[in-house]
């Protein structure tokens, strides 16, 4: 059709294309379809709407499903910007250089696919991952780095798969000045959990708390996809994959340690504490002490660098129901006092404190306060030992140790309790930490710039309850049963040996029995307290 146009008509077409990117794209851009081959780019309504957003707003953040043509429409917009505007400087970034380079290749392919008379600016410098037009406009691909594009004035910054870029907070801080002369930004991505720059930016945009315009494009916006397509497509996909790839759900996506379904269930069970008390009102109480119940307090002490908080949880052991929680920045002496005071309010419950760094100082002050139910462990093996018995063991230290050996066990036990619905979490503070507690390079940890103090304190509660307390409870029951059985046998067979002066009485045997009983009582003293 183009060859039939006169020069005057061509000029009118070019002018119209320069004013209307949607007309330009639908009239002249061709794309590569995986099945249909090279075809004209006939935009869907949601793609046309996205073009309008690109024009109307300087900053756009697009939460998208995979494979719905958002990279294609973004590349086509870049073609229009470069072709019909002089001296545009465009930078495409992605967590993988190949991803950024692929978008640049799409732009180049679209330009080369235009009719010659529409190519009002030709490619003058052509490199593998960058090129420049004769009108001075240029584009290049880059992996994510704080130094990328830093010394340049950018007309447009495209961040592809932004939710998957590590350290994007720092990168954005470094790159934002490059847009200060009127430059634009397009950040597009499938979700990847919460807490990252993309998630925070999108949520803030929805609340109109930043300069970004939000657009959400789930799989349902595509007119060629229906429920039958969805069922077929998701047949072999996990719930996490569906949320990330198709449904645009932040909370259900990402590589969180706790499964998304469990996170949703926890969220549904959250509620406000009955009291917010303490000297800083950071002690949250859901349920007061009940004499018939038993409790366990586990604490994680802040490192002392001001970046994290000292925390503790109290769970009712019979139901593993959360009854109290503290999170705050507090000095070691005040924290020790708070632990002792709160522990006494809950029936002198066992207090287990991580004994790393500042934790030793807190524990020493807690022991000095004569709190009678402190968790002790063997230094070399990290095994639990009761406080009374610890006095005669040189290798016994107060508190529990989170090491490379015990940390995986603590986290695994926490995940098991949550997965099997054996724990009742009520705190929104704890829930928010669980959402940002992720697998990173094969290691469970808090997402960058976030903390896991409450998570680890809860994990310790599950672990101690299922190891030290259960093991010692079983040991106590066994020994009690043995003593009762043994006592019955002795009383049935040798009734006349139990009273001094009676026939058959053996004073040596009596003293030996007393010595054994005394030793046994000392070993089990911690269980008889209260």
pLDDT of residue 335: 94
What's the rounded Cα separation, in Å, for the pair 291 and 165? 51
324 Cβ contact list (under 8 Å, min separation 6): 283, 284, 285, 286, 287, 313, 314, 342, 346
What's the rounded Cα separation, in Å, for the pair 17 and 11? 10
Going by their DSSP bridges, the two strands 156-160 and 184-189 should be labelled as: parallel
What's the rounded Cα separation, in Å, for the pair 191 and 201? 12
Rounded mean pLDDT, 225-230: 93
146 Cβ contact list (under 8 Å, min separation 6): 167, 170, 171, 174
What's the rounded Cα separation, in Å, for the pair 335 and 362? 7
Boundary of a domain, candidates 230, 253, 276? 253
Residues 394 and 279 occupy one common structural domain: yes
Q: How confident is the model at residue 512 (pLDDT cuts 50, 70, 90)?
A: low
pLDDT of residue 396: 83
Inter-residue long-range contacts of 95-101, CB under 8 Å, 24+ positions, other chains counted: 95/143, 95/144, 95/161, 95/164, 95/165, 95/166, 96/143, 97/129, 97/141, 97/142, 97/143, 99/160, 99/161, 100/129, 100/141, 100/142, 100/143, 100/160, 101/128, 101/129, 101/141
Residues 95 and 240 occupy one common structural domain: yes
pLDDT of residue 501: 36
Residues 312 and 439 occupy one common structural domain: yes
**3-state secondary structure at position 440:** strand
| 219: pLDDT strictly greater than 90 | yes
Rounded mean pLDDT, 82-91: 96
For residue range 199-218, what is the model confidence (pLDDT) as tens digits? 999 999 999 999 999 999 99
For residue range 478-508, what is the model confidence (pLDDT) as tens digits? 444 544 554 433 333 333 333 333 334 344 4
pLDDT of residue 240: 82
pLDDT of residue 499: 33
pTM above 0.85, yes or no: no
**3-state secondary structure at position 325:** strand
CATH number for the domain harbouring residue 323 = 3.30.420.240
What's the rounded Cα separation, in Å, for the pair 401 and 353? 9
Residues 249 and 381 occupy one common structural domain: no
What's the rounded Cα separation, in Å, for the pair 511 and 372? 30
The secondary structure of 25-56, three-state, reads HHHHCEEEECCCEEEECCCCHHHHHHHHHHHH
Going by their DSSP bridges, the two strands 212-217 and 59-64 should be labelled as: parallel
Residues 453 and 304 occupy one common structural domain: yes
Residues 364 and 424 occupy one common structural domain: yes
Residues 286 and 397 occupy one common structural domain: yes
492 and 451 Cβ atoms separated by less than 8 Å: no
| 530: pLDDT strictly greater than 60 | no
Give the DSSP letter of residue 338: H
Between 240 and 513, the more confident residue is 240
Residues 463 and 325 occupy one common structural domain: yes
Q: How many domains does the chain have?
A: 3
For residue range 420-460, what is the model confidence (pLDDT) as tens digits? 999 999 999 999 999 999 888 788 999 888 899 999 999 99
390 Cβ contact list (under 8 Å, min separation 6): 376, 396, 398
DSSP string, 57-73: -SEEEEEE-TTSSHHHH
Going by their DSSP bridges, the two strands 123-126 and 37-40 should be labelled as: unpaired
243 and 191 Cβ atoms separated by less than 8 Å: yes
Residue 140 phi, psi dihedral angles, 5° rounding: -150, 155
Boundary of a domain, candidates 431, 450, 468? 468
| 131: pLDDT strictly greater than 80 | yes
What's the rounded Cα separation, in Å, for the pair 69 and 92? 17
Give the DSSP letter of residue 186: E
132 and 138 Cβ atoms separated by less than 8 Å: yes
**pLDDT more than 90, % of the chain:** 62
Which of 160-164, 328-332, 518-522 comes out lowest in average pLDDT? 518-522
The angle subtended at Cα 280 by Cα 278 and Cα 284, nearest 5°, is: 50
The residues pairing with 354 across neighbouring beta strands, listed in sequence order, are 400
Q: How confident is the model at residue 151 (pLDDT cuts 50, 70, 90)?
A: low
Rounded mean pLDDT, 49-65: 96
375 and 398 Cβ atoms separated by less than 8 Å: yes
Between 412 and 511, the more confident residue is 412
**pLDDT more than 70, % of the chain:** 86
Between 497 and 471, the more confident residue is 471
Residues 226 and 141 occupy one common structural domain: yes
423 and 462 Cβ atoms separated by less than 8 Å: yes
pLDDT of residue 308: 83
Going by their DSSP bridges, the two strands 59-64 and 130-133 should be labelled as: unpaired
What's the rounded Cα separation, in Å, for the pair 45 and 211? 24
Rounded mean pLDDT, 234-243: 87
pLDDT of residue 193: 85
Helix (H) or strand (E) holding 24: helix 21-28
For residue range 2-33, what is the model confidence (pLDDT) as tens digits? 457 888 999 999 999 999 999 999 999 999 88
Rounded mean pLDDT, 341-370: 92
**Sheet containing strand 376-378, strands side by side:** 384-385, 376-378, 396-398
369 and 337 Cβ atoms separated by less than 8 Å: yes
In which domain, by residue range, is 364 found? Answer: 262-468
Of the candidates 411, 400, 418, the one whose C-alpha atom is nearest the C-alpha of residue 300 is 400
pLDDT of residue 517: 46
Residues 464 and 484 occupy one common structural domain: no
Helix, strand, coil: what percent of the chain each, to 5?
A: 45, 20, 35
- Average per-residue pLDDT in the chain? 86
In 10 A of CB 515, how many CB atoms? 10
For residue range 171-203, what is the model confidence (pLDDT) as tens digits? 999 899 999 889 999 999 999 888 899 999 999
Boundary of a domain, candidates 432, 449, 468? 468
pLDDT of residue 507: 47
pLDDT of residue 526: 40
Sign of the Cα torsion 32, 34, 35, 41 reads negative
* b/e map 274-290, b = 16+ CB within 10 Å: eeeebeeebbbbbbebe
63 and 214 Cβ atoms separated by less than 8 Å: yes
What's the rounded Cα separation, in Å, for the pair 60 and 73? 14
CATH number for the domain harbouring residue 199 = 3.40.50.300
pLDDT of residue 147: 65
Residues 152 and 289 occupy one common structural domain: no
Residues 302 and 348 occupy one common structural domain: yes
End-to-end alpha-carbon separation of the chain, Å? 94
Going by their DSSP bridges, the two strands 123-126 and 130-133 should be labelled as: antiparallel
């Amino acid at each position: 059709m183009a060859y039939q146009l006169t020069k005057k008509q061509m000029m009118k077409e070019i002018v119209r294309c320069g004013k209307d990117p949607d007309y330009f794209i639908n009239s002249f851009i061709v794309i590569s379809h995986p099945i249909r081959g090279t075809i004209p780019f006939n935009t869907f309504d949601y793609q046309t709407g996205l073009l309008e957003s690109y024009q109307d707003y300087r900053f756009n953040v697009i939460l998208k499903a995979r494979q719905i043509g958002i990279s294609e429409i973004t590349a086509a917009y870049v073609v229009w910007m470069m072709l019909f505007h002089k001296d545009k400087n465009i930078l495409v970034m992605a967590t993988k250089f190949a991803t950024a380079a692929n978008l640049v290749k799409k732009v180049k392919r679209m330009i080369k696919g235009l009719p010659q008379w529409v190519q009002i600016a030709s490619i003058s410098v052509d490199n593998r991952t960058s090129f420049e037009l004769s009108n001075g406009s240029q584009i290049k691909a880059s992996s994510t780095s704080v130094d990328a594009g830093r010394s340049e004035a950018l007309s447009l910054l495209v961040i592809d798969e932004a939710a998957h870029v590590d350290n994007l907070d720092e990168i954005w801080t470094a790159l934002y000045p490059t847009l200060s002369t009127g430059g634009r930004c397009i950040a597009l991505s499938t979700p990847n959990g919460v807490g990252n720059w993309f998630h925070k930016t999108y949520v803030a945009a929805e609340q109109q708390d930043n300069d970004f315009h939000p657009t959400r494009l789930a799989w349902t916006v595509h007119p060629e996809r229906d429920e039958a397509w969805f069922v077929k497509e998701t047949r072999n996909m996990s719930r996490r994959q569906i949320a990330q790839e198709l449904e645009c759900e932040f909370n259900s996506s990402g590589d969180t340690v706790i499964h998304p379904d469990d996170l949703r269930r926890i969220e549904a069970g959250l509620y406000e504490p009955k009291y917010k008390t303490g000297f800083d009102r950071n002690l949250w109480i859901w349920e007061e002490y009940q004499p018939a119940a038993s409790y366990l307090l586990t604490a994680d002490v802040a490192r002392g660098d001001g970046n994290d908080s000292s925390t503790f949880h109290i769970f009712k052991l019979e139901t593993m129901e959360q009854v109290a929680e503290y999170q705050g920045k507090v000095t070691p002496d005040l924290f020790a006092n708070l632990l002792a005071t709160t522990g006494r309010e809950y029936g002198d419950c066992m207090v287990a404190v991580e004994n790393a760094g500042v934790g030793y100082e807190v524990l020493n002050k807690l022991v000095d306060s004569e709190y009678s139910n402190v968790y002790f462990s063997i230094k070399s093996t990290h095994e639990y030992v009761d406080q009374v018995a610890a006095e005669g063991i040189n290798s016994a230290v107060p508190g529990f140790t989170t090491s490379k050996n015990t940390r995986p066990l603590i986290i695994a036990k926490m995940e098991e309790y949550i997965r099997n619905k054996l724990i009742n979490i009520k705190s929104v503070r704890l829930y928010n930490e669980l959402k940002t507690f992720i697998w990173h390079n094969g290691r469970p940890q808090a997402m960058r710039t976030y903390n896991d103090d409450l998570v680890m304190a809860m994990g310790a509660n599950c672990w101690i309850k299922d190891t030290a307390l259960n093991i010692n409870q079983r040991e106590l029951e066994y020994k009690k049963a043995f003593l009762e059985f043994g006592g019955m046998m002795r009383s049935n067979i040798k009734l006349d040996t139990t009273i001094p002066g009676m026939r058959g009485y053996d004073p040596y045997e009596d003293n030996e029995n007393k010595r054994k009983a005394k030793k046994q009582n000392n070993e089990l003293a911690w269980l008889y307290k209260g």
